[in-house]
Structure 1
Amino acid sequence: MTAPALPPLAPAPGGAFGLYLHVPFCAARCGYCDFNTYTPGELAAAGGDTPAGNTPAGWLEALRRELELAAGRLDAAGGVPVLDTVFVGGGTPSLLGGAGLADVLAAVRTHFVLAGDAEVTTEANPESTSPAFFGALRAAGYTRVSLGMQSVAPHVLRLLDRVHSPGRAPAAALEARSAGFAHVNLDLIYGTPGETDDDLARSIDAVLAADVDHVSAYALVVEDGTALARRVRRGEMPAVDDDVVADRYELLDARLTAAGLDWYEVSNWSRPGGECRHNLGYWNGGQWWGAGPGAHSHVGALRWWNVKHPNGYAEALASGAAPVAGFEELGETDRHVEQVLLRIRLRDGLPVAVLHPAERRRADAAVAAGLLRLVEQRLALTDAGRLLADAVVRDLLD
């Protein structure tokens, strides 16, 4: 299949520019995950050999080619932007090891300049980290690490198919701090069937004991096509209870706020200065190039996404082609919907001026209902509104 040709890029002037790098490898597949990830067994050919493009070495070679292509396209569109943020996600980037992730950042620096205060993040699974791993990341220039924790309750981890021990994630966070990382995030998942209030409370205790400056907490969502969805469909486990999820969110928010971690996005809390700048770029409508299998990019009014499979991605680049699977040009209505959808989730809220008259009237109704508050011509979610954020957005956009 011939890759679609991207229209010429037209970057928006000013503002931050980020780079996202997708590592598609995982040691095992978690039951709730629907991300573009692959286990070794899924990447091996029928004869047992693994095609070169499906290996970390083949992936890195392809990534280098895409980064060269990206810099060339951006240069032709007005100049290669200085990177304010770099985010290595997955998948499980820590499977590359400290040396492998150092090679990734070196590849970035070959084609891009990082701002002096650039935020450089990698995700990591606790079981594939160590003090030496974190030391190598710091030496390479990473400034932030995000660790998947989910829970300290063994039965919750088992249901989610997580393979790390209950105490490994907080221990890894402490190792990262000891290695010199000022910015460390722990991810939690709440609302898993069988989880109790005490399970979540103990998980929060462990997070706070690790002294991290950022916490992300997500309600479990059972996505179609996942192992969890199949278990729910077969009646092996109950569906997620929305009322329980709301109670758990309130518990999380109260405990984290009392400990000095304030919400700045519906699912994210941080100490002052600990906010994830890369993700804020997404939520504020910023620009980024996404490199790697299945990665998405957004430059100016153009959005595109790469071929999903690692070998197809590598083969496209080896042939000299861009690994693009598809693209869309965002119109004024598209951009408006995204602005409302994303910025209303931020503590800073949404400027009233961006709303159309009918939307402003619906916003007034949401203020009267106690779901939004108006502060200095910005609309922000109330505590009650955060529990119903998606519904608030739907009502605003009608």
Structure 2
Amino acid sequence: MTGIYLALPYCLSHCHYCGNPATPYSARGAERYAHKLIADLAAARPTWAGRPIHTLYLGGGTPTLFAAPLLAAIMGAVRAHFQLAADAEITSEANPETVTPPVAETLLGLGVNRISIGAQSFSPHNLRALGRRHDPAAIHAAVAAARAAGFANLSLDLIFGLPGQTADGWKADLEQAIALAPEHVSAYILTIEEGTVLGERVAAGKASPPDEAACADLYALGADILEQAGYARYEVSNHARPGFACRHNQNYWRGGDWLGVGAGAASSLGGARSAWPAPVDGYLAAAAPDDLETLTPRQRAHDLAVFAMRTAQGADLAAIHAATGTDLEARLAPAITRLATQGLIRREGARLIPTPRGMLFADAVGAALADG
């Protein structure tokens, strides 16, 4: 499977927890950026020609800040230079305050068939602490606008592990999200990053996030509530109703190929990886992405295992052996035994599957299976 990721890293303000590069939005800046994006899509055509594109993802920043003519030009360039599959999943991220009825109708009219709304929380206090611009009412309005426009595939993002957050508060967020009947819910643990407003508050002792044990309890609570509501956990942080798992992200976890265009966007083609500079100014000045590495078959085998172990299906070692010629069963025997003893994975034939505890400690499982 092949996907395209387009980075549109413009925001009205920088959230207190966000360590990603984001540029204050201006109409002139967005227009210049879109023209560069369109030129780079054209330049990528020879390398990616002839491949059906199964997923397209407009990531932020806030793609829905871009004016309708710019979004139309970007989507037109994708269709002009690439072969979008008839059933392609086309996603746009959106902040709630930007999803008005005209915006939702524009997105759907351009072929976007999946919208991912960054709700994060339904608590006014938590939203202020995160530096979000919207209030709970804006989440409801955004979902209503998307549904009225005709979106039948809608995802909500939530964050847990906030300073002062309780189990009851997290449960309330989940229940309010479920009440809106999205097809997909992502539940991410808050990461405290240096250089962010929240990171500085924590460093100064002005905020204290829940400890590891409390976050583990919140994670388990979230998974239980979502699964009881019909949202199966198919990846560490992602839950979906049947048939609504995010295909774009699944392509990453399954080792597929993808083209990334825009500031900080990475590409992977047959194990060869490249990335554009992350700052917008650096991207605008770059003639081409920087080559990062080309994975050896052994490295690719380990990479496939690490990413697959983030998913409920786990890693099929026999399939990885067939694809790369690398026998991870032999190479990783001690690590596999140790992880199984620790209750982090279980075996089903040649397949390694993370346990619920293994999902919680996915980074540790991945580190144990990485090519060392």
Bin the TM-score by the shorter chain.
over 0.9
Query: Match of 1:363?
Result: 336
Unaligned runs of 5+ in 2: 321-327
Query: Match of 1:156?
Result: 126
The partner residue of 2:30 within 45, 51, 56 is 56
Q: Does the 8 A contact of 1:156 with 1:194 survive in 2? A: no
Establish whether residue 39 from structure 1 lines up as the match of residue 24 from structure 2.
yes
Query: Match of 2:345?
Result: 372
* Amino acid across the alignment from 2:338: A
The residue correspondences of 1:1-398 to structure 2 (distance < 5 A) are 16-40=1-25, 55-74=29-48, 79-316=49-286, 321-322=287-288, 324-353=289-318, 354=320, 355-397=328-370
Query: Match of 2:324?
Result: none
Secondary structure, aligned partner of 1:249? helix
**CA separation in 1, counterparts of 2:193 and 2:62?**
20
Query: Match of 1:7?
Result: none
Shifted more, 373-382 versus 262-271: the winner is 373-382
**CA separation in 2, counterparts of 1:358 and 1:136?**
51
Shifted more, 107-116 versus 334-343: the winner is 334-343
Give the direction of change, closer, same or farther, for the CA distance of 1:259–1:97 in structure 2 (3 Å limit). Answer: farther
**CA separation in 2, counterparts of 1:142 and 1:102?**
11
Secondary structure, aligned partner of 2:11? coil
* Amino acid across the alignment from 1:340: A
Secondary structure, aligned partner of 1:167? helix
* Amino acid across the alignment from 2:270: G
**CA separation in 1, counterparts of 2:331 and 2:35?**
51
Give the direction of change, closer, same or farther, for the CA distance of 1:293–1:395 in structure 2 (3 Å limit). Answer: closer
Secondary structure, aligned partner of 2:332? helix
**CA separation in 2, counterparts of 1:59 and 1:395?**
40
**CA separation in 2, counterparts of 1:240 and 1:227?**
17
Measured after TM superposition, the shift of residue 88 of structure 1 is: 0.4
Secondary structure, aligned partner of 1:393? helix
Q: Does the 8 A contact of 2:316 with 2:351 survive in 1? A: yes
**CA separation in 2, counterparts of 1:393 and 1:263?**
18
Fraction of identical pairs, as percent? 39
**CA separation in 2, counterparts of 1:108 and 1:179?**
23
Give the direction of change, closer, same or farther, for the CA distance of 1:311–1:396 in structure 2 (3 Å limit). Answer: closer
Deviations 1:84-116 (A, max 9, x none): 110000111111144433332112112112100
Secondary structure, aligned partner of 2:367? helix
TM-score by length of 2: 0.92
**CA separation in 1, counterparts of 2:238 and 2:34?**
31
Deviations 1:39-90 (A, max 9, x none): 24xx8xxxxxx9x6xx11101111110011000233xxxx431211100001
**CA separation in 2, counterparts of 1:17 and 1:203?**
34
Number of aligned residues: 363
**CA separation in 2, counterparts of 1:370 and 1:307?**
40
Measured after TM superposition, the shift of residue 358 of structure 1 is: 4.5
Measured after TM superposition, the shift of residue 311 of structure 1 is: 3.3
Q: Which protein, 1 or 2, shows the higher relative CO under an 8 Å CA cutoff with sep ≥ 6?
A: 1
Q: Does the 8 A contact of 2:159 with 2:188 survive in 1? A: yes
**CA separation in 2, counterparts of 1:365 and 1:312?**
44
* Amino acid across the alignment from 2:356: D
TM-score by length of 1: 0.86
**CA separation in 2, counterparts of 1:238 and 1:360?**
40
Query: Match of 1:46?
Result: none
**CA separation in 1, counterparts of 2:116 and 2:51?**
25
**CA separation in 2, counterparts of 1:338 and 1:274?**
25
* Amino acid across the alignment from 1:347: A
Measured after TM superposition, the shift of residue 288 of structure 1 is: 0.7
**CA separation in 2, counterparts of 1:98 and 1:205?**
34
Shifted more, 388-397 versus 235-244: the winner is 388-397
**CA separation in 1, counterparts of 2:118 and 2:358?**
27
Q: Does the 8 A contact of 1:303 with 1:328 survive in 2? A: yes
Query: Match of 1:47?
Result: none
**CA separation in 1, counterparts of 2:51 and 2:158?**
34
Secondary structure, aligned partner of 1:294? coil
Measured after TM superposition, the shift of residue 255 of structure 1 is: 0.7
Give the direction of change, closer, same or farther, for the CA distance of 1:33–1:299 in structure 2 (3 Å limit). Answer: same
